Each structure stands twice: as C-alpha cells, then as structure tokens.
Structure 1
Amino acid sequence: MKNSTISIIKQGQKKRKQRWLIVNILLIILACCLCCLMLLLGNTIYPIQDVFRSLMGETLSGVNFAVNTIRLPRMLAGFFAGIAFGIAGNTFQTMLRNPLANPDILGITAGSSVAALFCILIFQTNNTVVSLAAVTAGLLTAIIIYFLSRGKSFAIGRLILVGIGIQAMLSALISYLLMIGAQEDIPSALRWLSGSLNGVQLSSLPPLMITVLICAPIVLFLSKHLSVLELGEQSATSLGLNTNMVRLLLILCSVSMVAIATATTGPIAFVAFLSGPIAKRLVGAGQSNVIPSGLVGINLVLAADLIGQFAFEVRYPVGVITGLLGAPFLLYLLIRMNRKGSL
C-alpha cells in the first residue's frame, strides 16, 4: 500500500514536470515566431533571408534602416519588457498571495511613471537619469505603501487598499505634470504613458537588458523560497526561511525590473497583472511559475504590439491593446473574489 502511494505521487510529479516543460517549450516557440514577425512585418515586408543578412551586418539598401534601426530595437524592447513585467507581477502576486497584488494595482508602476515623466517634461534629461529616477521612485513607492499598510499585524488586504489609494494620488500627479509641461512635449508624453514601443532606440535598451539579465536569475534562484512564502508568514518561518531577507531581495529585483521597463517603454498596462495567472493556468500547480510568467509576458507584449500595428486601420500603442485585454479580466477577478469573500 505504501509503495503504491509513493508510486502514484511520483507519477503525479512526473506528469506535472512534463506539462511544465511542454508549456514552456510551446511558449518559447511562440515567442520566437512573434520575434520573427516583428522583424519581418512593417510598411515593407522583406524576405527572411534579407532580414537575416542585415542582422549579420551586410549592407542592403533600405533593409538595414528598417530592420536594425526600427524593428530590432522595437522587438528587443518588447522582449525584455515582457520578461520584466511578467516576472515582477508574478513575484508580487505569489509573495502576497493575492492576484490583485501586482505593480500596476499597487501603484509602483505609477510611482516610476511620475519620476520618469517629471524628468522627461520638466528637466528633459537623458535616458540614464530617467532610468535611475524611475527605479528610485519605484522603490520609494513600495516602501511608503509598506509602512502605511502596517498595523498591529501585516494584512494583504490593507496593503492592496493603500496601494490603490497611492496609485490614485500618483495618477493625479501625472495629470498635473501633463498640464504644466511644454505643449510640444505633451504628445510624446501621452504616447509614452499609454505604453508604447514606438521610437525605442538601441542606445536606450542596455539598462533594461542588464537589469533583466541580473534580476530575473535572482528571482528564479529564489523561486523555491517564493513558493514557501506563498504558504504564509508563520509556515515559512517555521520551515526556517528568513522571510524578511527573501522578501527584501524579491521586492528589490521586481521593483527594479518594473521601474526600468517603465522608463524604457512606458507603463504597458496589465502585462504584470495577466502574466502570472495565465502562466499558472497553463502549467498547473506544483511547479515554479517564474519562467512561464516571463514567457507569457513576452508573448503578451509582442502579440499586442503586432495587433496594434496591423489589425486596425489606425495604429495603436501596445498599452492600448493590453489594456483592452486586461480590463475585462480584472472585472472578472474582482467579481469572483467578491463571491468567494476574499475581497
């Protein structure tokens, strides 16, 4: 009887690992296809061999500018921003054990947006200063939300409500900055606020790429500890986990990725909110959700950008399309949580 139980458990673990692996492979294949489409499609559709030769450094009239100057930076920005938003959103949702607890809802993205917009409209600084200001403001917003939500005991619901209030206040500050900004800078600022890959240059991508390449592996390394945190504070502490240290590292990495991604592409709506739940539905329970969330984030951003560019007569920024996808899901989630009494 004991051996049969162990055998059933092992078979279940094997099936879950196989499902996790298959889902990740399919998400990687889909992401590769979307990356290729981002490079191929535009006002002019170039043959794949010409695109490849251009990427390899060969000079081809017309192809080099379109591929290397416009399409490649756009694709890379969407790729790394998708990873950043996807992993960061899943980290907050898992760590706080609530699907509403993501950087968009908590106001962390809005904090980064205010700092970036202030630098763009008021000081008109370079990309490096904008990135540093966005990270600093994102971390400061997270700290303020944490301290304002502290009571006699830590409560996730209180933290979410405080975050929503902070987000409302920061949204008002964004509106004020748009009112006092120079008129010639307002259109580009509004385009940036909607979340857009338009006009991204290769020179502005290194901070985002370096941050993701450093922070994403750290979150992946801490994924087992993240799963333990999902059990609750008391359970995690009883298992010998240094919850404060792990939580601090996870928050630093997640906020850094969100802030840099926001400074580079603008606040692309709902990617951080959608990636974790979609990935969890795909891979099922019992496996790490970090890699699938990053892959879902990539696919959401790239697919939404392609839809915004080519599915309509008018071209829409990527954030408009992700907003259209995310808003109904948010309403559905709120209704379901209210029925369960968890809201």
Structure 2
Amino acid sequence: MTHRQQSPQRKFPHRRIHGGRSVLSVGPATWPLDPRLLLVGAGATILVIVLFLISISIGFTTPVDVARILLGGGTRGENVVVFDDALPRALVAALVGFGLGLAGSLTQIITRNPLATPDLLGITAGASVGAVLAITMGTTWGAWLAELGTPIAALLGGLVAAALMAALSYRRGSDIGMNTLRLILIGVGLTWTLQAVTAYLLARAQEWDASRAQRWIVGSISYATWQVVPAALIAVVVGIVWAMISARDLRALGLGLDTSRSLGLRVGPVVTGTLVVAVIVASLSVSAAGPIAFVGLLAPQIAMRLAATPQPTPVTAGLTGAALVLFADVLTRTALPGGLPVGVVTAALGGPFLIYLMIQAARKATA
C-alpha cells in the first residue's frame, strides 16, 4: 500500500481564488486582490514617478535626463545639482504627501467619517505647536525641545494633542474607550485652541524665528534638505507596515462597529493602535514640511472614488497624497508666483472639497 506524500505548505506569496475573489496569501496573512484598486494604485504610482522626475528637472534639465542622472549617468556638476539640491525637495514632497494621505485614511476608517482627518482632529495642530516651540523658543525655556530636534518636538506635540482628544472624548463602558462623534467635535475645538497657542508663540518670538516658523506653518518644502528626509521616511515606513499588518481588521472596521464585533474583531485595540499610528505618521510628516493643509482630507476621498472602494485604502491614499503634493510643488514653481508654498495650493483645492463633503453629509442625514 502506497501513501501519497503530502506537499509542504507554501510559505512564499501566491495567488489563489477564495469565495470567487482573487486573494494574495503570505503564510497566514491574506489580502483580497481588487483589479480596479490595483489599476488605480499602478496609475497613481506612475503619476508619482512622472511628477517626481518633473519636480527635479524644473529649471535645470528634462525628466529624461533626470532619470539618467539618478541611474548613475550624470556628470559631476549634474550630480551636485540633482543630489544636493533638487532631490531632497522632491523626496520630501513625495514622502510627506504619502504620509499625510495615509494618516488621513486611517483616521477616516476608524471614525467612518470623511471629515475626520489629522487636520481637523487637532493632530497636526498639536504637532505644529511642538515644532513652533522648538523653532521660536529654542534659545529660552524651549531649548530642550530644540535640542531634541523639530521632528521629535512635532511628534511629542501630536501625541499630547491626541492624548487630550482621547481623554476628553472618553466614554465609560465602551470597548473602544471613546465616542467617535465626540472625538471629531472635540478635535475641531482642540484644533482652534492649539492654533491660538501657535499664534501666541509667534507673537512672542523674535522676528527671524517668527518668520521661519510662519513659513513652516503654511506648509512649504522650498527649504527641504536631507536632514528632514529621515523623519518623513520613517513616517511612511511605519504607516505602510501597520496598513499591511492590520489590513483585514481595517476592512472589518469599515463594516461598522457592531458587525466588526460579531466577526470576532477586538475593536478597542485595533482602533487605539490605528489612532496612535496615524498620530505618529502625521506628526513626523508635519515635522518635515509643516502642516500642508487638506492633503489628509483630499487624498483618501479621491483615491476611494477612483478605486470605487467602500472605504479609503491607506496605501492608495498615500500614493494619491504624494501625487497631490508633488503636483502642487510643480504648479508653484511653473504657473504660479515664485516662492508660493505648496500649502496654499492644497488649501485652495481642499477648501471647496470640504464644503462639498459637508453638503453631501448633510443631504445624507436629511434623506
């Protein structure tokens, strides 16, 4: 009698069909493959690469030549211009846009509200207070923050703001420990309060420090250097890792809290962990280029509509955010007056979109 030898379980990534849907499996982890989502993600990636090359080439050469230089075919002079000056700016634009878009998608998922973004929940405002303290009070009582550096100061500010927001929205007896509607309302109030604190710090600062901080607050990548790239890169890595690890849990949250609980999801740890990651990603992104307005609002909603998904997908939202900031940077350096911060462009785009979302939400509430 012969025995059929069982084949070893495959550990490497492979595609299979599960319940009529394509699924990518890596060991015990699985991710559903949505053709339209993959197409939108691929298109966004290509757009980011094209805008990235255009951003580097402005005022210097062509995107094709930039690609040649980046691949090691440049002269010494070309390498100095690209790698020392243009590349850090383009990298910061792409990484910060990705981080803000991803953080916005995470906060929108856990609250199931398109208006719940780091901008409106007080996270970026808290990060701004921390960074402005380090910039304007670095020679007085804020010297210890200046020694830590702007990225750490912004991260601490964002964490403190998130802790205040969570404490004020705490609801006893809830497995997520907070009321999401109260979280949004308190976040909006906290945002205005922290913006008042920032204005006070600017009023008390020395003229040079206040000017530098004001330029940073608007959201600008004009003076980006290699020194701020690591903070933005860490933000992107943290966000992508969390999005991959918790992909199934985040999809379940999109079905609603009651449905998630019925599926056996431990809602509290997932919501808390996702909020903490969103704070870290948004704060580090803000520390690199300032609070570039409305990227966290625009990117997830644009990506969701393009991919026709029921809720924002973090990586696609990040790619959309990177494309938005790069596009704003290209626009400010070509078609708009010189020296205009990218935050002005994103605010001009995001303001009308916010009004549209509020009108849409009001219509759904009265329907």
Fold conserved between structures, TM > 0.5: yes
Higher-strand-fraction structure: 2
Matched, 1:302 2:312: no
Matched, 1:219 2:243: yes
Alignment root-mean-square deviation, CA = 2.6
For 2:328 and 2:63, how far apart are their aligned partners in 1?
Answer: 23
For 2:20 and 2:328, how far apart are their aligned partners in 1?
Answer: 39
For 2:110 and 2:240, how far apart are their aligned partners in 1?
Answer: 16
The one-character-per-residue Cα deviations of 1:54-88 (angstroms, maximum 9, x if unpaired) are 66385433x33331122100111011111110111
2:40 alignment partner AA: V
Q: Which residue of 2 aligns with 1:21?
A: 38
Identity %: 34
Question: Could you state the TM-score of these two structures normalised by the residue count of structure 1?
Answer: 0.89
Q: 2:131 aligns with which of 71, 95, 116?
A: 116
Matched, 1:318 2:334: no
Q: Which residue of 2 aligns with 1:158?
A: 182
For 2:63 and 2:189, how far apart are their aligned partners in 1?
Answer: 50
Q: 1:84 aligns with which of 69, 84, 99?
A: 99
Q: 2:88 aligns with which of 37, 51, 73?
A: 73
For 2:257 and 2:63, how far apart are their aligned partners in 1?
Answer: 55
Q: Bigger CA drift: 107-116 or 219-228? A: 219-228
For 1:338 and 1:193, how far apart are their aligned partners in 2?
Answer: 31
For 2:261 and 2:67, how far apart are their aligned partners in 1?
Answer: 53
Higher-helix-fraction structure: 1
Q: Which residue of 1 aligns with 2:48?
A: 31
Question: Could you state the TM-score of these two structures normalised by the residue count of structure 2?
Answer: 0.84
For 1:303 and 1:127, how far apart are their aligned partners in 2?
Answer: 34
For 2:157 and 2:337, how far apart are their aligned partners in 1?
Answer: 37
Q: Alpha carbons of 1:327 and 1:60: their partners in 2 closer, same or farther (altered >3 Å)?
A: same
Counting only pairs closer than 5 Å after superposition, residues 1-343 of structure 1 correspond to structure 2 as 10=20, 17-42=34-59, 44-45=60-61, 48-49=64-65, 52-53=68-69, 56=72, 58-61=74-77, 63-123=78-138, 129-151=149-171, 154-285=178-309, 289-341=313-365
- Kept after mapping to 1: 8 A contact 2:108/2:116: yes
SS of structure 2 residue aligned to 1:315: coil
Q: Alpha carbons of 1:73 and 1:57: their partners in 2 closer, same or farther (altered >3 Å)?
A: farther
Q: Alpha carbons of 1:287 and 1:94: their partners in 2 closer, same or farther (altered >3 Å)?
A: closer
Unaligned runs of 5+ in 1: 1-8
1:174 alignment partner AA: T
Alpha-carbon distance, 1:210 to partner: 2.4
For 1:165 and 1:260, how far apart are their aligned partners in 2?
Answer: 22
Alpha-carbon distance, 1:199 to partner: 1.1
Alpha-carbon distance, 1:238 to partner: 2.0
- Kept after mapping to 2: 8 A contact 1:127/1:204: no
Q: Alpha carbons of 1:54 and 1:283: their partners in 2 closer, same or farther (altered >3 Å)?
A: closer
Alpha-carbon distance, 1:278 to partner: 0.5
Q: Alpha carbons of 1:47 and 1:243: their partners in 2 closer, same or farther (altered >3 Å)?
A: closer
For 2:67 and 2:240, how far apart are their aligned partners in 1?
Answer: 29
SS of structure 2 residue aligned to 1:269: coil
For 1:310 and 1:49, how far apart are their aligned partners in 2?
Answer: 19
Unaligned runs of 5+ in 2: 1-18, 24-31, 140-144
For 2:286 and 2:66, how far apart are their aligned partners in 1?
Answer: 33
For 2:125 and 2:132, how far apart are their aligned partners in 1?
Answer: 10
SS of structure 1 residue aligned to 2:223: coil
